[in-house]
Amino acid sequence: MKPEEIIEKIFEAVTNSPINLYGICRKTKLHPRTAKRYLGIIESVQAKEKIEKEWHGLRAMMRKKRQR
């Protein structure tokens, strides 16, 4: 699978409501290590879509930023 396809899958899984890494893995059927690796790539591609990320211990909660 190409990196662009993985990023698109993750963007489709992230909505306005918070979702943890396990939820993204279930929706996208990606391995947790792969999803974690691509979160860094997504942060660099934020010109396309803005994502908020909060870390609570080992949990990462992500959601799309709201337009004001």
Would you state the pLDDT for residue 48? Answer: 60
Identify residue 43 by its one-letter amino acid code. Answer: E
For residue 16, what are the domain limits? Answer: 3-64
- Could you give the CA distance from residue 37 to residue 39 in angstroms, rounded to a whole number? 6
Q: By the 8 A CB rule, do 26 and 14 touch?
A: no
Q: What is the pLDDT of residues 4-42, one digit of tens each?
A: 788 888 888 888 888 888 888 999 999 988 888 887 767
DSSP category for residue 61: E
- pTM tops 0.75, yes or no: no
What CATH number has the domain bearing residue 13? 1.10.10.10
Quick check: helix, strand or coil at residue 60? Answer: strand
Would you state the pLDDT for residue 14? Answer: 84
pLDDT greater at residue 62 or residue 8: 8
Torsion sign (Cα): 17, 20, 22, 25: positive
Would you state the pLDDT for residue 29? Answer: 93
Number of domains in the chain: 1
